[in-house]
Structure 1
Amino acid sequence: MLTTRLPTKVEPYRLASSGKCLEGVIPLADMPRVVEAIGVQESDVRISLTFDIDSQRRSFIEGSISFEASLLCQRCLRPTEPEPLSSDFRLGLVTSDALAAQLPGEYEPVVVENEQLDLLSVIEDEVLLVLPQVVYHEEADCAVSRDQLASGVEPEASDAPAVNPFSVLRTLKDKH
């Protein structure tokens, strides 16, 4: 089933029993946690999801996402050029946390409540997981130079031996 805009809620067990595929897009601007993390973005997340059942009768979703995002440089706090980001994932559908603990390592658990899955929330989780933790411009392109990042004068090396802060304890031990 090909759509240009994915539904926000689906019945994943029904889709898995039918072996359905969903493809489409969701604007990054429709994801409040992503907007909070990286600001408003103009691009869409391209999504491909295959719902299926494995040989052990576990329902799962195999999917991929890709999008472009302009992130803030951690040095100068200015936006970087849009960067392509993507992720492939395999989600195991479960109805409780206890069943999630029993899933094999190849699956990330997704708890399905009342036979409904909030697809927007699942996609938003995957987008947040693929975002880099630290982003910098190339040093030549950054508005902040390495010299501007120095926070003070480096201490000079001393030939005097370092004072051991626990030497007082040694004198207490020697008294007994």
Structure 2
Amino acid sequence: MIAGFPGKFFQMSAFVIDAFEFCRNDGHREGVTPVAEMSRLAADCADKSGSISWTIQGGKTKQGYPSLTLAVAGTVQLVCQRCLQPFGHDIDSSTMLVLGKDDADADEIEEILDDESIDVIVGSHACDIRDLLEDEALLALPQAPKHEVCPDTKLMDGLKSEKVSPFAALKSLKPE
């Protein structure tokens, strides 16, 4: 809940902004959201613990297009793809989103900017910033999460020792 604004209704709508107005007024918001409240992110995590700190800043590009700069940071629990154990993964990511009025406008802006590091999206007068922030957190996750060095390799060692060559049975077929 936001100080000075009691009630669940405002809490739910506090994250819905007019993106164009937010950019025009150089709007700024920041906060911390539990991973448990980000259903798509939580589904990719080992558990729902942790939280994501975030900021969103409205403004304009050098060319005058409305833009939102998003930043997310925090630690989430992922499952290591090597040892299958959970581990803390640090997220620290930011991006700039440039807003177009519609698909055609967004395509035109993208061509003019010609910058792969900037994403151009269709803006909205009723934009839920939670979706944008969760998207940024999801994009910051590795495709194949793994420890730098797995702490417990017993499971992997056990699998390796049980591994039998698919050609071992052929030895018995070999004529002597």
Same fold by TM-score greater than 0.5: yes
- Go from structure 1 to structure 2 and tell me whether the alpha carbon gap of 1:110 and 1:118 turns closer, same or farther (over 3 Å shift): farther
Match of 2:118, as an amino acid?
Answer: Y
Q: What secondary structure sits across from 1:35 in the alignment?
A: helix
Match of 1:91, as an amino acid?
Answer: L
Choose between structure 1 and 2: higher helix proportion. Answer: 2
Residue aligning to 1:44: 51
Match of 1:62, as an amino acid?
Answer: T
Residue aligning to 1:62: 69
Higher relative contact order (CA 8 A, sep 6+): 2
Residue aligning to 1:166: none
Residue aligning to 2:6: none
Q: How does 1:14-93 map to 2 (within 5 A)?
A: 14-80=21-87, 82-93=88-99
1:111 counterpart (106, 122, 134): 122
Q: How does 1:132-147 map to 2 (within 5 A)?
A: 132-137=142-147, 138-146=149-157
Q: How far did residue 125 of structure 1 move?
A: 0.7
Q: Distance in 1 between matches of 2:121 and 2:36?
A: 23
**TM-score calculated relative to the size of structure 2:** 0.74
Over the matched positions of the two proteins, sequence identity in percent amounts to 22
Residue aligning to 1:100: 106
- Go from structure 1 to structure 2 and tell me whether the alpha carbon gap of 1:134 and 1:146 turns closer, same or farther (over 3 Å shift): farther
Q: What secondary structure sits across from 1:127 in the alignment?
A: helix
Q: What secondary structure sits across from 1:144 in the alignment?
A: helix
Q: What secondary structure sits across from 1:48 in the alignment?
A: strand
Cα RMSD for the two superposed structures: 2.6
1:153 aligns with 2:153: no
Residue aligning to 2:173: none
Match of 1:86, as an amino acid?
Answer: D
CA offsets 1:16-58 (integer angstroms, 9 cap, x no match):
1111221111221111111222244221111112100123220
> Whose radius of gyration is greater, 1 or 2?
1
The runs of 5 or more residues in structure 2 that have no matched partner are 4-10, 169-176
Residue aligning to 1:167: none
- Go from structure 1 to structure 2 and tell me whether the alpha carbon gap of 1:66 and 1:143 turns closer, same or farther (over 3 Å shift): farther
**TM-score calculated relative to the size of structure 1:** 0.74
- Go from structure 1 to structure 2 and tell me whether the alpha carbon gap of 1:89 and 1:149 turns closer, same or farther (over 3 Å shift): farther
Q: What secondary structure sits across from 1:136 in the alignment?
A: coil
Match of 1:18, as an amino acid?
Answer: N
CA offsets 1:95-119 (integer angstroms, 9 cap, x no match):
3222222222242123223x12121
Aligned residues: 152
Q: What secondary structure sits across from 2:165 in the alignment?
A: coil
